[in-house]
């Protein structure tokens, strides 16, 4: 892989980026999204006191399914069967190993999910550039030009 356009350091950087990507993916899969229960509801409600606008997010609004007081921006997920604080979406990404997101993305795992997307997009662009340089070096070696 190393050639006149791709150095050993760039290959090592690609492996480091891969390690970071896998670590963030692991964290996105393993960290709970932030389940709202009767015990945790006061904590979430107090933390997001300023988010109640009494139009969309009302104080002391109860979830009709699990009967807990919902904090602002929380939602009940019918797939996970729980209320999630700062609910973003239910992620259906599935991998055939035991490591899969397949859960809600909420307050506690949102930063890992966004980091996962960001790092993977940078890693893919980086690998595309390294691949293009390697292809160019291979074509020059075969004397197509």
> Hey, which residues are catalytic here?
91
Long-range contacts from 122-130, C-beta under 8 angstroms, 24+ separation: 122/17, 123/14, 123/17, 123/18, 123/21, 126/13, 126/14, 126/17, 127/14, 130/6, 130/10, 130/11, 130/14
Q: How far apart are CA 65 and CA 83, in angstroms?
A: 9
**DSSP state, 89?**
E
Residues 6+ apart with CB under 8 A from 58: 52
């Amino acid at each position: 892989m190393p050639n006149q356009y791709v150095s050993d350091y760039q290959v090592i950087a690609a492996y480091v980026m891969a390690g970071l990507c896998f670590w963030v993916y692991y964290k996105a899969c393993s960290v709970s999204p932030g389940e709202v229960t009767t015990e945790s509801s006061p904590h979430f409600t107090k933390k997001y006191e300023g988010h109640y606008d009494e139009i969309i997010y009302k104080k002391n609004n109860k979830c009709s399914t699990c009967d807990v007081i919902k904090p602002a921006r929380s939602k009940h997920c019918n797939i996970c069967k729980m209320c999630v604080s700062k609910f973003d979406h239910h992620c259906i990404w599935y991998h055939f190993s035991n490591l899969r997101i397949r859960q809600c993305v909420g307050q506690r795992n949102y930063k890992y999910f966004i980091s996962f997307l960001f790092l993977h997009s940078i890693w893919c662009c980086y690998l595309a550039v390294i691949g293009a340089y390697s292809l160019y070096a291979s074509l020059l070696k075969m004397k197509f030009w």
